[in-house]
Structure 1
Amino acid sequence: MFSSLDSIYPLAKVSREDLANLCDVLWNWRPCTDWAMERTCQKRAESIPCSCQRAETLTTFFDFYRETTAFYVPELTYNSIPALRTHEDLRGMIQFIKNNPDDTRLELTQHYFSHHTTSSSKGLLSNDQNRAFNVAARIMTMLTCSAEGQSDGLLETGSQPTPWRSDQSFNQFSNSAIPRQNPISFESYASGCPSITLPPASITAKRLKKLAKLKITSTNDLRNHLLLDEKDGTVAIYHHTSVLKQHLRAYQYDGTQGNPDQIADQNVSLPKELIVETLNTLKYVIFPIEPESQSILRSLVARERFDPDNCRLDASTWKAVEGDNIRYEYWGTRLLRLYDELENPTPRGFLESWLERKSGARYVMLVTLAGVVIAILLGVLGLAVGILQVWISWQQWQHPVA
């Protein structure tokens, strides 16, 4: 019997200080003390730029962190302790992964739990260790992952976690979770790009809703971005632009000592090209600067818990990295699938489905044959009517009325 809820859900309570320390371990900056202590920021009161302004853009990410950590339930048996007991444990695990990104998952797990815990940790369960590393990786990448043979109950809820194999390093996992595929470009960006091209402004939120009758839903798993569900008539959008921009700023770190590229490599958990592509799909493809798509975006922010940072996307943050010629190598296949759906929408509702079934090629011959039969019947009836009229005329001629 557990003594309290804290032992069942050890990470359920999250303080502002925990969130401030999280920013520090993820991106090497932290909000000001006033923000962490939930006080009015003195710098903001004096109209001076402050780190708390960056923290305020991460509201939806902090909500994601609270939800993810709240549902961490350790596997406790007699004489065992949780792999994660506090948020400090989780931050230490994240920092350990960042410091050793080329070690395999098995090596990370063994080294971490042998050097970063006390001797009383011998009762730790391997499943709980794997679950703890899954949570750490998810916070770092926003990719739902699992160890080999361990789904953490995600399969039962319909989610397909990304496997992080025991012989795979963290860098290998984050670089291969969303593989590159055949690139596509939009015509306005396609000069000199050897890739499939699509018409500009062809896959906007407005067209997805009006033409394809798709419902836009939010997803916290980056791997589900732009995923079309034909059966349910939905398209999932990864919306945490504030997190992507923090990752990108870490890549653009301009330190005065050491090699900035090496520093950035330790600060970022996702490939830079993937970050830029994802931001571009949101800014230029799905939610371009046109009234109806922007109206849909504002509605999603208000009703679907989309990141409000989408409404203030500043393209200069990432456009300088890639320039104007964008080739979508990570999301190209899904963009092409959405374009195909717009060109040939899946029938929605009973009437559209019935008409779609009746419009198949196998029914064309039946319709043609039915037309021929009807024409023959009408011809026979017409012939019978003609014969009857001739007979009546003959009788009138043979037997005139006096």
Structure 2
Amino acid sequence: MISPSEDEKNQIIEHLLHIKSDSEDVSWTSSKAYFRRYQSIFCPDEANDAVIQIDTPTLRTHLDVLTFAKSLCDNHALSRGEMTRKWFASRATTAAEMEHISRAVVNIAFMIDCNERDYYPKGFDCSIPRAKWERDQSFLNFLETSFLPLQQRANAGVTLGDKASLKAWKLASRYGIRIRGTDNLLEHLLYDPRHRTLMIFHHVSYLRFHLRCSRNESLDMGFAESLALRTLPPQLLFETLLSLHYILFPIASRGGKRSISLLKKCIRKQHLDEELLSYENVRRLPDDFTFKYWGGRLKTLQEVTKRPPPRNSLVSWFERHTSERNALTVAIIGLFLTAFLGLLGVIVGVLQLVIAWLAWKDGH
């Protein structure tokens, strides 16, 4: 498809971001990062290296995208196979095209990759759920299966207090952790110890606009009720925003200059959402607020600060080879080396005495 026109962009923000395009303070220009993602998926070109690219006559117009996104919410009890057959009942299309298009629609409507790989790099927590929308699985069940296990991993709720060590600039400068933006909400706060990278979901404008849909609803609203509003649970959206602007990048707090500086660098180099640099209270923060979705990953980050990762490959090699058994072996070897060097010292001392005695004898 070709890039959306101004009118089509206004329709997109109204249906996918749930904002009135004629409002005084909001237009599609306030969602530039979101539209970059949208165009990278549905309007690919040779210069674009996006993970998902859809370029098929089966998907005819941008109105198709909006219609399919609405259908995801209205028919969330249907399986992926049933959903795509409903979409393309009157169009000739292949199974591969239907799978790619459904992936793209989920990606842009809910910022979730529903075809996630079946593995993660070495060192990742093996309890991370496999986020794949199966052909015989309903969309509602896919969302619940992908996100609810995160709550089980969090166990006791993690609060906003005592998170000063998790400021992004501290993670970068003290522990050598690199911040990487992601367009996939499921990867938010995912830490890769092998490459010392922390993924952050950077689409702040998307989070704010969707959170406004449920501003007057309970934070505990579930996935089924949220889909009726064509959005995700407010607790999930709110936690993501708070983890960005209260914990990693507290730009509104006193002494937030380093956070702002790091954000500007990330935005410039990675083309992240510029709205990261602005703070807004979308809804009231409860006094007893806890992280139910991202608590487990925040705990992982706290453990990293308590046991910092090695800063280079040499230190990493030593750490990998210094188990208790190896440490005992090294201690024994060290003991023998000490004894051997001590014996060499005695021999050298005796030789020096002999040489000195011979020299004295020759002199007399």
TM-score (normalizing by structure 2): 0.78
Map of 2:173 onto structure 1: 210
Structure 2: how far apart are the matches of 1:334 and 1:366? 36
Structure 2: how far apart are the matches of 1:174 and 1:313? 28
1:389/1:26 CA distance change after superposition, 3 Å: closer
Match of 1:269 among 208, 219, 231: 231
CA contact (8 A) 2:111 2:183 kept: yes
Q: Secondary structure at the match of 2:266?
A: helix
The CA RMSD over aligned residues, in Å, is 3.4
Are 1:332 and 2:295 counterparts?
yes
Which deviates more, 286-295 or 217-226? 286-295
Are 1:61 and 2:34 counterparts?
yes
1:125/1:387 CA distance change after superposition, 3 Å: closer
Map of 2:126 onto structure 1: none
Structure 1: how far apart are the matches of 2:13 and 2:337? 76
Unaligned runs of 5+ in 1: 1-10, 33-48, 75-81, 190-198, 255-261
CA contact (8 A) 1:287 1:293 kept: yes
How many residues in Structure 1 have an aligned counterpart in Structure 2? 333
State the percentage of identical aligned residues. Answer: 23
Match of 1:172 among 136, 141, 144: 141
Give the drift of 1:228.
Answer: 1.6
Match of 1:294 among 260, 276, 280: 260
1:336/1:264 CA distance change after superposition, 3 Å: closer
1:83/1:375 CA distance change after superposition, 3 Å: same
Determine which structure has more spread, i.e. the larger CA radius of gyration: 1
Structure 2: how far apart are the matches of 1:384 and 1:58? 78
1:161/1:89 CA distance change after superposition, 3 Å: farther
**Structure of greater relative contact order (alpha carbons < 8 Å, 6+ residues apart):** 2
Map of 1:306 onto structure 2: 272
Map of 1:105 onto structure 2: 80
Unaligned runs of 5+ in 2: 44-52, 122-128, 218-223
Map of 1:50 onto structure 2: 24
1:263/1:25 CA distance change after superposition, 3 Å: farther
Map of 2:54 onto structure 1: 72
Letter in 2 for 1:26: L
Map of 2:221 onto structure 1: none
CA contact (8 A) 1:27 1:267 kept: no
TM-score (normalizing by structure 1): 0.72
Q: Secondary structure at the match of 2:282?
A: helix
CA contact (8 A) 2:18 2:209 kept: no
1:295/1:166 CA distance change after superposition, 3 Å: same
CA contact (8 A) 1:105 1:165 kept: yes
CA contact (8 A) 1:251 1:265 kept: no
C-alpha offsets along residues 172-227 of structure 1, whole Å, 9 cap, x if unaligned?
Answer: 222332232233555664xxxxxxxxx43121102210122011111101111111
CA contact (8 A) 1:250 1:264 kept: no
Match of 1:352 among 307, 312, 315: 315
Structure 1: how far apart are the matches of 2:160 and 2:76? 38
Give the drift of 1:105.
Answer: 2.7
Letter in 1 for 2:342: L
Give the drift of 1:243.
Answer: 0.3
Q: Secondary structure at the match of 1:325?
A: coil
Q: Secondary structure at the match of 2:259?
A: helix
Give the drift of 1:386.
Answer: 6.1
Give the drift of 1:270.
Answer: 1.4
Map of 1:7 onto structure 2: none
Give the drift of 1:274.
Answer: 0.9
Structure 2: how far apart are the matches of 1:395 and 1:110? 104
Letter in 2 for 1:125: T
Map of 1:126 onto structure 2: 95
Letter in 2 for 1:73: D
1:132/1:253 CA distance change after superposition, 3 Å: farther
Letter in 1 for 2:200: I
1:324/1:305 CA distance change after superposition, 3 Å: farther
